[in-house]
Amino acid sequence: MMECIKAREWIHLHMDRSLDHSNEALLMAHIEDCDICRRDYEILMSIHQVLQSTDEVDLPSDFHETLMKSIKKRPKKRQNILFLKQLNIAAVIVFVLVFGLIGINNLNQNKSFNNDEVSEEMLSMSAITEENSEMNVAMDATEFEDASLSRASNENERSQKATSDSLLLEVDHQYGNDLLGVRYDEGWIIVMVGGILIIGLLIGYIKLKL
Amino acid sequence: MSDKSEQKLINNAVNGDSKAFEKLILPYEKKVYNIAMQMFKNEQDAYDASQEVLIKVYNNLDKFKFESAFSTWLHRLAMNTCIDEYRKRKRHLEHTTTMEVRVGLEDESITRQFIDHNLTPEQEVLKNETVLEVHDAMNQLKEDQKILIIYRDIYGYSYDEIAKILECNLGTTKSRISRARQALKDIIIKKREQTAS
């Protein structure tokens, strides 16, 4: 004799037409004998029949038209997202171009300026050295060993060293300091700001799930 | 509609092509309206709720990631929206009129849905009584159980399809539907006992 709990479980399988024949026979035998299970079975089957005989109703004639009208009236969320997407891409391109060009331009200018300064410095240094050697040649030629002239030559060397030191300091002051081994100046700052802005825009781009 | 052409329509609709959306949604309109009709048993509420479902589909189409069938995703939205709207209306009805009064007013339209021309007049009366009894019990069922009965027992969706809509496993789905049927049966038994006493 099967239990009522099992019978209730099988009634659902019977409703779904997924109970095999042997178990179907067992269930029917139980229902014959058990008043409560028979009552449950009858109610569940009548519910099932009523629900299954439900007819589909037709759509109201204006249903589709109303739907399409309300969709067109609504704020076009997706189109706004599309616009934001395009705006974001455009902004990234503009920032990359503007900051990239400014940055590269500045770096090139500084590089060439530095090169000019160094070559000018080199030229002035060689001019001084030439003057000194001319003086030495003159001294050799006359074989005149004058102590005062030798002092003047030493002073000349010192002033030469001081000039080159001050030039280096000026270059440092004008074009940036050495910070953690990375040399930064105007160009680098612009590139860094541009980079931060681009990263910000990229985060915005990802946030929009594009 | 093949999966590929449906996928193309979805992509076009996401990019703002309203014609593609129209084509995509057309085969589902009647089904969604009928599900809402079974849920609310009222043309106006069914109309509003099904419009709401389809507008939600439009607004959230970009969130559909092709991880399930489009119909599964649409029915998930339909199920959730119908439950939410039903709760809202139930709360509103509690403040205005009782469900019983409402049912009384709609009896005729309900029985009209279940007309069987092969029955004798006596059988017809008996059938109408059963229909009203079931309908009344359906109205007293919790909204999440009611929607499961609508999908499974009225429209014959498979357990597998319902499990995918609910995003839960087959066993859980089966036991949830079984509990909903039991609850429906218990409401009817209780009502009969009350009438008898």
Q: Cβ A55–B178 below 8 Å, yes or no?
A: no
Chain B partners within 8 Å of A9 (Cβ): 178
Closest CA to A156 of A132, A122, A121: A132
How many residues in total does chain B contain? 197
Q: Report yes or no: A57 and B46 within 8 Å, Cβ to Cβ.
A: no
pLDDT higher than 70, residue A74: no
The pair phi, psi for residue A74, each rounded to 5°, is -65, 150
Q: Give the architecture-level CATH label for domain B1-96.
A: Orthogonal Bundle (1.10)
- As beta bridge partners, residue B104 has none
Which pLDDT score, from 0 to 100, does residue A105 have? 74
**How does pLDDT run across A80-97, given as a tens digit for each residue?**
666 677 777 777 787 777
pLDDT tens-digit series, residues B124-170: 777 788 889 999 999 999 999 999 999 999 999 999 999 999 999 99
pLDDT greater than 60 at residue A178: no
Distance of residue B178 Cα from the nearest chain A Cα, in angstroms: 7
Is residue B66 a contact partner of residue A79, using CB atoms and an 8 Å limit?
no
Chain A touched by B163 (CB under 8 Å): no
Picking from A13, A17, A56 by the largest number of B CB atoms within 10 A of its own CB, the best residue to mutate is A56
Note whether B62 contacts A81, CB cutoff 8 Å. yes
Predicted pLDDT at A102: 75
- Where do the H-state alpha helices sit in chain B? 3-14, 18-40, 43-60, 70-96, 99-112, 121-140, 143-149, 159-166, 170-196
Of A116-120, A203-207, B138-142, the poorest mean pLDDT is in A116-120
pLDDT of A181: 46
Report the percent of chain A where pLDDT is more than 90.
30
Of A47, A54, A67, the CB nearest to B114: A54
Of the two residues A21 and A168, the one the predictor is more confident about is: A21
Please return the burial class of B117, using the count of CB atoms within 10 Å of its CB with bins 0-12, 13-18 and 19+.
exposed
Averaged pLDDT of chain A: 74
Of B21, B114, B159, the CB nearest to A50: B114
Q: What percent of chain A has pLDDT over 70?
A: 53
Rounded to two decimals, the ipTM of the complex is 0.82
Substitution target in B11, B55, B134 with the highest count of A β-carbons within 10 Å is B134
Q: For residue B84, what pLDDT is reported? A: 95
Q: Which residues contact A156 (CB under 8 A, 6 or more apart)?
A: A128, A131, A132
Mean pLDDT over A129-151 rounds to 57
Q: Coil, helix or strand for A184?
A: coil
Place of tokens 């000019």: A116
For the stretch A53-67, pLDDT in tens is 888 999 999 999 999
Contact (Cβ atoms closer than 8 angstroms) between residue B47 and residue A70: no
Whether residues B61 and A53 touch (CB distance < 8 A) is answered with no
pLDDT at A96: 77
Q: Which one of A37-46, A151-160, B8-17 scores highest in mean pLDDT?
A: A37-46
Specify the pLDDT at position B5.
86
Q: What is the pLDDT of residue A64?
A: 95
User: Would you say residue A209 has pLDDT above 90?
Assistant: no
Q: B196 vs A171, which has greater pLDDT?
A: B196
Verify whether the Cβ–Cβ distance A66 to B51 is below 8 Å.
yes
Which of B23, B53, B61, B114 best probes binding to A when mutated, by most A CB atoms within 10 angstroms? Answer: B114
Task: Report pLDDT for A137.
Answer: 54
Q: Mind giving me the DSSP string for A59-81? A: PPTTHHHHHHHHHHHS--HHHHH
The tokens for B67 are 């991880």
**Residue A47 distance to chain B (closest CA, Å):** 6
Ranges of each domain in chain B: 1-96
Q: What value does the mean pLDDT take over residues A185-204?
A: 76
Burial, A128: exposed, middle or buried (Cβ in 10 Å; 0-12, 13-18, 19+)? middle
Helix (H, G, I), strand (E, B) or coil at A179: strand
Nearest CA in chain A to B150: A51
Query: B41 by DSSP, 3-state: which?
Result: coil
Select from B25, B30, B153 the Cβ nearest to the Cβ of A51. B153
Residue with tokens 């000194």, as numbered in its chain: A132
What pLDDT is stored for residue B101 in this prediction?
A: 46
- The position carrying tokens 């995918």 is B164
End-to-end CA distance of chain A: 64
* Partner residue opposite A55 with nearest CB, options B30, B47, B113: B113
Low-confidence stretches of chain B (pLDDT < 50) are 98-105
CA dist B93 → A72, B79, B146 (Å): 32, 21, 18
